[in-house]
Amino acid sequence: MAATAPANTVEVPICRLGALGRAYDTPAVCRAYTYKEQPLNDHAWKLGQAASSVKPGGDYIDTGLSLLQQLEEAGFGVFELRALREVKP
Protein backbone atom coordinates (compact mmCIF):
# COMPACT_ATOMS: atom_id res chain seq x y z
CA MET A 1 0.00 0.00 0.00
CA ALA A 2 1.46 3.38 -1.01
CA ALA A 3 1.72 6.10 1.61
CA THR A 4 -0.40 9.18 0.97
CA ALA A 5 0.26 12.73 2.08
CA PRO A 6 -2.16 14.41 4.50
CA ALA A 7 -4.84 16.50 2.80
CA ASN A 8 -3.35 19.83 3.95
CA THR A 9 0.08 19.32 2.33
CA VAL A 10 1.34 20.30 -1.09
CA GLU A 11 3.95 18.27 -2.93
CA VAL A 12 6.73 20.29 -4.51
CA PRO A 13 9.61 19.17 -6.70
CA ILE A 14 13.01 18.56 -5.14
CA CYS A 15 15.21 21.62 -5.42
CA ARG A 16 18.68 20.79 -6.71
CA LEU A 17 21.86 22.43 -5.50
CA GLY A 18 24.17 23.75 -8.19
CA ALA A 19 24.27 23.21 -11.92
CA LEU A 20 25.28 19.55 -11.51
CA GLY A 21 22.02 18.64 -9.75
CA ARG A 22 23.06 17.45 -6.30
CA ALA A 23 19.94 17.22 -4.14
CA TYR A 24 19.54 20.06 -1.66
CA ASP A 25 18.73 18.11 1.46
CA THR A 26 19.31 19.65 4.86
CA PRO A 27 17.80 18.95 8.28
CA ALA A 28 17.46 22.71 8.89
CA VAL A 29 14.38 24.69 7.93
CA CYS A 30 15.10 26.77 4.82
CA ARG A 31 12.88 29.45 3.33
CA ALA A 32 12.48 30.45 -0.30
CA TYR A 33 11.85 34.16 -0.76
CA THR A 34 10.22 35.78 -3.78
CA TYR A 35 8.88 39.28 -4.29
CA LYS A 36 5.39 37.93 -3.56
CA GLU A 37 6.59 35.87 -0.57
CA GLN A 38 8.91 38.49 0.91
CA PRO A 39 11.34 38.00 3.79
CA LEU A 40 11.08 39.93 7.04
CA ASN A 41 13.07 43.15 7.36
CA ASP A 42 16.23 41.60 8.83
CA HIS A 43 16.62 39.19 5.90
CA ALA A 44 15.61 41.86 3.37
CA TRP A 45 18.35 44.09 4.81
CA LYS A 46 20.93 41.27 4.47
CA LEU A 47 19.82 40.71 0.85
CA GLY A 48 20.19 44.42 0.09
CA GLN A 49 23.61 44.52 1.71
CA ALA A 50 24.73 41.51 -0.35
CA ALA A 51 23.40 43.05 -3.57
CA SER A 52 25.22 46.31 -2.81
CA SER A 53 28.48 44.40 -2.32
CA VAL A 54 28.56 42.95 -5.85
CA LYS A 55 31.87 43.71 -7.54
CA PRO A 56 31.46 46.00 -10.57
CA GLY A 57 33.01 45.26 -13.92
CA GLY A 58 33.14 42.35 -16.28
CA ASP A 59 30.16 40.93 -18.11
CA TYR A 60 26.82 39.57 -16.83
CA ILE A 61 28.49 36.25 -15.97
CA ASP A 62 31.03 37.96 -13.70
CA THR A 63 28.30 40.06 -12.11
CA GLY A 64 26.06 37.02 -11.56
CA LEU A 65 28.85 35.00 -9.97
CA SER A 66 29.80 37.93 -7.74
CA LEU A 67 26.16 38.23 -6.66
CA LEU A 68 26.03 34.50 -5.86
CA GLN A 69 29.20 34.82 -3.77
CA GLN A 70 27.86 37.80 -1.82
CA LEU A 71 24.51 36.09 -1.21
CA GLU A 72 26.23 32.94 0.03
CA GLU A 73 28.41 34.95 2.40
CA ALA A 74 25.23 36.58 3.76
CA GLY A 75 23.67 33.14 4.32
CA PHE A 76 21.48 32.92 1.22
CA GLY A 77 21.36 30.83 -1.93
CA VAL A 78 19.50 31.02 -5.22
CA PHE A 79 16.96 28.61 -6.70
CA GLU A 80 15.55 28.61 -10.21
CA LEU A 81 11.80 29.20 -9.86
CA ARG A 82 10.62 28.05 -13.28
CA ALA A 83 9.97 24.45 -12.17
CA LEU A 84 8.31 25.55 -8.93
CA ARG A 85 5.88 27.80 -10.78
CA GLU A 86 4.76 24.84 -12.92
CA VAL A 87 3.55 22.93 -9.82
CA LYS A 88 -0.16 23.27 -9.22
CA PRO A 89 -1.28 22.76 -5.58
Query: Which pTM was predicted?
Result: 0.64
Q: Give me the pLDDT at residue 89, please.
A: 54
List average pLDDT for each run of 10 residues in the chain, which is 89 residues long.
57 57 59 83 94 92 95 89 60
Report the alpha-carbon angle 36-54-52, nearest 5.
Answer: 60
Alpha helices in the chain, H assignment, sequence order: 41-52, 60-73, 82-85
Selection from 54, 80, 79, 53 nearest residue 65 by Cα:
54
Residue 83, φ and ψ in degrees, nearest 5: -65, -35
Give the SS3 label for residue 22.
Answer: strand
